[in-house]
Structure formats: structure tokens, C-alpha cells
Chain A
Amino acid sequence: ELKVEQNPLFLSMQEGKNYTIYCNYSTTSDRLYWYRQDPGKSLESLFVLLSNGAVKQEGRLMASLDTKARLSTLHITAAVHDLSATYFCAVDIAGTYKYIFGTGTRLKVLA
């Protein structure tokens, strides 16, 4: 069964701290995406990772992809309250037109 698992599911952290969210997947894929969702809102595209070793950075967030390990990470540097949201990874299933979304990580940054 295809699985996309995120770890942790819930994360409460202090402002200024660093942390990493992990996304493991069980299928062959060269493409992985990260999205952010604020409560009651839609999903916003954060990063598109299209190859092994890809690394993208935007502000305090950095995403990377290791297709051999079937692992992507979303690293948060010096967290601020505005980063509080749910973060989803999504895996593009090779040979199909669909993504499978991860379980989501609900991040709460405490002031």
C-alpha cells in the first residue's frame, strides 16, 4: 500500500528555535511538493522538488529531497509565530496524474 507519512504530526516550538519535519514515502517518485495550510483556508504551494538532491529555500524554510531514501525534509530556522500552520508534503506518483498527500504536520510556534 502506498504511504506518505509525516513526522511529527504535531509540533509545538518556541520562537527562535530550529526544527525539521520529515516526509517518508513508499513509492518511486522523483517529484515532491510541500504545501502550507492555515486553519480554515486553502493550500498554498511552498516548494517543488523535482530531482534527487534538490534543495529549495524561502525565508526561514528549507526543503530537500533524497529520492534514494524516499525522504524529504522541511527545515525551519529561527521559527516565528507566523509560521504556525499545517504543512503537507505530497508525492507525485510516477506514471500517474495524481499526488498522494502526507498526513500533515500541525506546527504551532509559541511567542
Chain B
Amino acid sequence: EPEVTQTPSHQVTQMGQEVILRCVPISNHLYFYWYRQILGQKVEFLVSFYNNEISEKSEIFDDQFSVERPDGSNFTLKIRSTKLEDSAMYFCASKKIREDGYTFGSGTRLTVV
């Protein structure tokens, strides 16, 4: 069964450093998302991406965040200058049509120290 692949599974970074979280969505999917979850709590929407551009972003997704789909397969989330409160599990998700449920990746645990 097709999977959404995320790398790395765990990233530890110093506060103020830049991180890039990588995702390979399912190949025929058209809608891409980043969500985050702090300590097994609520799942928070960050950004949606469709037709090679951001279609929606949350108030969490400020100027420190950016997304790219550089080569038609990878989908990346960059945090320019990490803060302690960015520590969370970051999930990439994709779907083929809007009505589908998401297929989530296994997540990247980001720890900012």
C-alpha cells in the first residue's frame, strides 16, 4: 500500500538554527499538508499546498515557516530560526481528492534545545 514517507524520524536542533523536514507524498496525490502535534495532544493545522502553491495557512505558520515542492516528489517544511516551542511531532499528509481522508506520514519528532 502506498505510503507517505517522512525524514528524518527525529531531529534535534539548537534554538535559532534552521531545520528542513522532508516528505515524499503518495505519487498521484494532489493535496499536501503539514500538521504538528505537541506531546500527543491536539493535532494543529499548519499549511495546505495545492497546484504548486500554498492554499491555506494557519496563524502558527508565520514568516519563520516555508514550504516547497522543489522537484515534483518531495514536499519540505522549513523553519528558519527554531524556537523552543517549535518542539513537536510534525506530520506530513496527502490526499488525491479533497473529499478523501488524509494519508499521514510517520512523522518527524523535532526537539529544539
Contacts and interface: CB of A to CB of B under 8 A. Distances in A.
Interface of A: 31, 33, 35, 37, 39, 41-48, 50, 86, 88, 90, 92, 96-104
B105 A103 contact: no
A60 to B, nearest CB: 19
Nearest to B99: A50
A98 B102 contact: no
B101 A33 contact: yes
A99 B63 CA distance: 22
Contacts of A41: 106
A42 B106 CA distance: 5
A45 B55 contact: no
B56 A96 contact: yes
Q: How large is the interface on B (under 10, 10 to 19, 20 to 34, 35 or more residues)?
A: 20 to 34
Interface of B: 31, 33, 35, 40-45, 48, 50, 55-56, 58, 91, 98-107
A97 B99 contact: no
B104 A42 contact: yes
Residue from B31, B33, B48, B101 whose CB has the most chain A CB atoms within 10 Å: B101
Residue from A39, A41, A43 whose CB has the most chain B CB atoms within 10 Å: A43
A42 B40 contact: no
Contact of A44 (B58, B100, B104): B104
B41 A104 contact: yes
Contacts of A43: 43, 91, 102, 104
Contacts of B35: 101
B35 to A, nearest CB: 8
B53 to A, nearest CB: 11
A109 to B, nearest CB: 18
A31 B43 contact: no
Residue from A46, A88, A96, A97 whose CB has the most chain B CB atoms within 10 Å: A97
